[in-house]
Amino acid sequence: GQNIDQPTEMTATEGAIVQINCTYQTSGFNGLFWYQQHAGEAPTFLSYNVLDGLEEKGRFSSFLSRSKGYSYLLLKELQMKDSASYLCAVTDSNYQLIWGAGTKLIIKP
Amino acid sequence: IAGITQAPTSQILAAGRRMTLRCTQDMRHNAMYWYRQDLGLGLRLIHYSNTAGTTGKGEVPDGYSVSRANTDDFPLTLASAVPSQTSVYFCASSDSSVVTDTQYFGPGTRLTVL
């Protein structure tokens, strides 16, 4: 079966760095997305990786290793507004988008 | 620019009733999607439409129907609601039907079926 695993919840301190991991087992691979979702709101796009390596976008970076079925989202200089859920999603060989359950990130002052 | 709007914002519905969730986008996107989001589970695709006039079934289509009469609107209908359909429903759109395109989400409809 197809599966995406993310930690359910993480806690970090304002100003620090946090890494949210995502591992996947899917029938094929055509790219990986990260979305941010604040409580009670819609998911919003953060990043897309299709090749191995690190993509940096301001305070957020996303890494992909296709051979390991692994990605992480790195958030630097954490701010209180970064408290949200972070969703990992993978497109499989049928171009179906498979979503993880999300990681709830709690930022403490 | 509104993006994607959904109505109603929330609804409490008696089991057995018919309900239509509305979704409208003003981005002229070709593809649209309906998802449900339940606690502890990832977003699950209910139905999708690659372009006006066409629709397809997603992962959990049973009990739901959709139509795509034009580019902007993509309503989701529950013919006879059941308590297991209690969920938050998100409509999304993307410029094309290529799944590598970014999807943009509406604000969601919180539905409770009693």
Mean pLDDT value across residues A91-97 = 81
Q: Is the peptide bond preceding residue B75 cis, with omega within 30 degrees of 0?
A: no
Q: Residue B1's pLDDT is what?
A: 57
| SS3 label, residue A1 | coil
Tell me which residue of A5, A25, A11, A19 sits closest to A88, measured CA to CA.
A5
Q: Residue A93's pLDDT is what?
A: 81
Q: Mean pLDDT in chain B?
A: 93
Q: Which residues in chain B touch residue A43, judged by CB atoms under 8 angstroms apart? A: 43, 90, 105
List all residues of chain A from 60 to 99 with a beta carbon under 8 Å from chain B. Answer: 87, 89, 91, 95-99
Contact (CB<8Å) B42/A30: no
Q: Count contacts between A and B (CB, < 8 Å).
A: 47
Paired residues of B89 in beta bridges: B36, B109
Mean pLDDT value across residues B3-30 = 96
Structure tokens given for B56: 């397809």
Nearest to B99 among A41, A87, A96 (CB): A96
Model confidence band, residue B40 (pLDDT cutoffs 50, 70, 90) = confident
Q: What is the dihedral of CA B9, B34, A66, A47, to 10 degrees?
A: -40
Model confidence over B77-105: pLDDT tens digits?
A: 999 999 999 999 999 999 876 666 789 99
Q: Residue A28's pLDDT is what?
A: 87
Contact (CB<8Å) A97/B40: no
Query: What is the least distance, in Å, from the CA of A73 to any CA of chain B?
Result: 17
